[in-house]
Amino acid sequence: MPVQDWFLSGAERDNPDSDLPVWTEGNLAEPLVHGAAYFDRLATEVEALEEGDHVFFTDWRGDPDERLRDGGPTIAELLAGAARRGVVVKGLIWRSHLDRFAYSEEENRNLGEEVSEAGGEVLLDHRVRRGGSHHQKIVVLRHPGRPERDIAFAGGIDLCHSRRDDSDHRGDPQAVRMAKAYGEHPPWHDVQLALRGPVVGALDLTFRERWTDPAPLDQYGPISTVRDRLRGADLHADRLPPRPPDPPPCGPHRIQVLRTYPAMRPAYQFARLGEQTVARGYTKAIKRARRLVYLEDQYLWSREVAKLFADALRDNPDLHLIAVVPRHPDVDGRLALPPNQVGREQAIALCRAAAADRVHVYDVENHAGTPVYVHAKVCVVDDVWCSVGSDNFNRRSWTHDSELSCAVLDDTPDEREPRDPAGLGDGARRFPRDLRLALLREHLDRAPGDDGDLLDPASVVDAVEAAANALRDWHAGGRQGPRPPGRLVPHETSRLPWYQRLWAVPAYRLVYDPDGRAWRDRRAGNW
């Protein structure tokens, strides 16, 4: 399988300011589906760190009291305990907007203060475009002198409330407030990767680039800076320990780290014109799709992103798109709800205009009928290439906020039929196919190994469609008789009335889904 057919080349990455490797080989990726699995694994790995080891993390939100297991520890206890043992603990959390706007400024600040009191250092980082955020979610654990123990985590799961759910989807006991349809403890579906091998060094470098960037941490302005100083906030990053050598090869996975950084002022030293390798990586892979694109995404917004799928569907008459999305946005309200609705409605309509019978969009519910909030960001193309990350399928994630995703190619062929579903000679690969099957088995209430009809792109569409329609019809018929197996339901969208679209469309484009590209790229229509 020619790797360059799927991964970006150095020229295609087009960021000469960064020393990030084009891709790494010899890695081992393990999917951790659901926050409960990730948090338990993270606690185990951090608790084993010793004096002189490193734990570096970036996040969108951090809640210090979030429990990683039923009996603890909390996030703050885990990281502060490591710092007290002599572990070098460094973190970058988005400074966030004010709590009065339903964001997490206070929680992020409190986590930083608790860890810093124990000897670590957590900075509130607002080096973003106006209205933007730092959305990367990585944790990097290094063991100088014992590189074979190094591990990193990357994906969509924040270190905060509502994320610690499991396959039963009853929600996190420590929940954030969301739209009423999700209840008091919103069910939450998400995916993180545990990573070993040289890719850990690439993620370490990503953290170090942000940490050592000389631009001021606070881009809000003088008022917020004065307020931070009055509270004794740490506004200057201390020196990091030397970067250890990359861990040795340990597996069959080639991994390309894809990132988004916007074009902004002051510019990032490691991405002076921004970086859009997330957008470029997805574009290259989806253009190579021939039979099946399977994705799970929080948003699936943006005409630009939808056009990529629509063009692929038009060019390849055997290509199907299966998308799993949330049933409802995470917010209610007359002002907040319409802009959230209009983006997805436009994107799905554009895809269906290209191939109405080959676009299959579903949402998820638990066995009590409560919708599950899909926060995962997963894409699998023809069981060859896959990606798990923090980025959503929208223009904001591809251009405006900071994001990070790991694209995986497995050297291990999958011998199950069809061995080459796309017919391009690449052959199905073990990791992406196993990831797709694991996710679908959960959504369809299947036992491990009960996936023979989910292998072929043609039969998987029929199986998923039949299960989702049966559950929809059971609801429509008054829930008579036993509940059909499965948790997927066909996703429904409706076009907003004209008087709402007058303001909701521009609000969606300018506020909810802004464009962070340099003007030259916007004019040329390039990522």
Give 475-521 pLDDT, tens digit per residue.
Answer: 999 999 999 999 999 999 989 998 899 999 999 999 999 999 988 88
DSSP 33-69: ESHHHHHHHHHHHHHT--TT-EEEEEES-B-TT-BSS
Residues 92 and 171 in one domain: yes
Domain-terminating residue out of 231, 261, 291: 261
Tell me the pTM: 0.95
- What pLDDT score was predicted for residue 107? 53
Residues 212 and 303 in one domain: no
Domain-terminating residue out of 211, 226, 261: 261
- Percentage, residues of the chain above pLDDT 70: 94
pLDDT digits over 327-381, tens only?
Answer: 999 998 888 888 888 989 999 999 999 999 999 999 999 999 999 999 999 999 9
Using CA atoms, how far apart are residues 169 and 158, in angstroms rounded to an integer? 17
Residues 310 and 239 in one domain: no
In a domain, 270, yes or no: no
Using CA atoms, how far apart are residues 479 and 419, in angstroms rounded to an integer? 40
- What pLDDT score was predicted for residue 226? 53
Residues 332 and 477 in one domain: yes
In a domain, 274, yes or no: no
- Region 424-446: what's the mean pLDDT? 98
The two structure tokens encoding residue 383:
């069981």
In a domain, 268, yes or no: no
- What pLDDT score was predicted for residue 413? 98
Q: Name the pLDDT band for 233 (thresholds 50, 70, 90).
A: low
Q: 95: which residues sit within 8 A by CB, 6+ positions away?
A: 105, 108, 124, 125, 126, 217, 218, 220
In a domain, 68, yes or no: yes
Q: What DSSP element (H or E) covers 79?
A: helix 75-84
- What pLDDT score was predicted for residue 219? 64
Please provide the average confidence, as pLDDT, over all residues in the chain: 93
What is the per-residue burial (b if ≥16 Cβ within 10 Å, else e) of 467-486?
Answer: bbeebbebeeeeeeeeebeb
Residue identified by tokens 């080959």 is 358
Reduce the DSSP state of residue 163 to 3 states and report it.
Answer: coil
Residues 237 and 379 in one domain: no
Phi-psi region of 145 (alpha: psi -120 to 50; beta: other; left: phi over 0): left
**pLDDT value at 235 more than 80:** no
**pLDDT value at 230 more than 60:** no
The two structure tokens encoding residue 450:
């009960």
Q: 240: which residues sit within 8 A by CB, 6+ positions away?
A: 88, 90, 208, 211, 212
**pLDDT value at 231 more than 70:** no
In this predicted structure, which of 37-46, 171-180, 215-224, 450-459 has the lowest mean pLDDT? 215-224
From the number of C-beta atoms within 10 Å of its C-beta (0-12, 13-18, 19+), residue 97 rates as middle
In a domain, 131, yes or no: yes
From the number of C-beta atoms within 10 Å of its C-beta (0-12, 13-18, 19+), residue 19 rates as exposed
Higher pLDDT, 341 or 21: 21
Total domain count, the chain = 2
- What pLDDT score was predicted for residue 452? 96
Which CATH number covers residue 482?
3.30.870.10
- What pLDDT score was predicted for residue 336? 85
Cβ atoms of 121 and 89 within 8 Å: the answer is yes
Residues 461 and 379 in one domain: yes
Q: Name the pLDDT band for 100 (thresholds 50, 70, 90).
A: very low
- Give percent helix, percent strand, percent coil of the chain, each to the nearest 5: 35, 20, 45
Using CA atoms, how far apart are residues 311 and 317, in angstroms rounded to an integer? 11
Structural domain of residue 316, as residue ranges?
282-512
- Region 171-175: what's the mean pLDDT? 97
- What pLDDT score was predicted for residue 157? 98
**pLDDT value at 168 more than 80:** yes
- Region 228-248: what's the mean pLDDT? 82
- Region 102-108: what's the mean pLDDT? 50
**pLDDT value at 60 more than 60:** yes
- Region 112-130: what's the mean pLDDT? 92
- What pLDDT score was predicted for residue 98? 46
In a domain, 272, yes or no: no
Residues 254 and 369 in one domain: no
- Region 458-484: what's the mean pLDDT? 97
Residues 331 and 252 in one domain: no
At residue 429, φ and ψ (nearest 5 deg) are -120, 150
**pLDDT value at 104 more than 70:** no
Closest CA to 103 of 73, 69, 80, 135: 135
Residues 151 and 83 in one domain: yes
Closest CA to 195 of 158, 152, 252: 152
Phi-psi region of 368 (alpha: psi -120 to 50; beta: other; left: phi over 0): alpha
Residues 165 and 295 in one domain: no
Helix axes 498-507, 337-355, angle to 10 degrees: 100
Q: Name the pLDDT band for 110 (thresholds 50, 70, 90).
A: confident
- What pLDDT score was predicted for residue 99? 41
- Region 187-198: what's the mean pLDDT? 98
- What pLDDT score was predicted for residue 333? 83
In a domain, 449, yes or no: yes
Using CA atoms, how far apart are residues 19 and 173, in angstroms rounded to an integer? 42
Q: 334: which residues sit within 8 A by CB, 6+ positions away?
A: none
Residues 408 and 493 in one domain: yes
Q: Name the pLDDT band for 102 (thresholds 50, 70, 90).
A: very low
Closest CA to 340 of 324, 329, 351: 329
- Region 413-427: what's the mean pLDDT? 97
- Region 12-38: what's the mean pLDDT? 98
Helix axes 457-476, 430-443, angle to 10 degrees: 20
In a domain, 520, yes or no: no
**pLDDT value at 318 more than 80:** yes
At residue 351, φ and ψ (nearest 5 deg) are -65, -45
Residues 240 and 360 in one domain: no
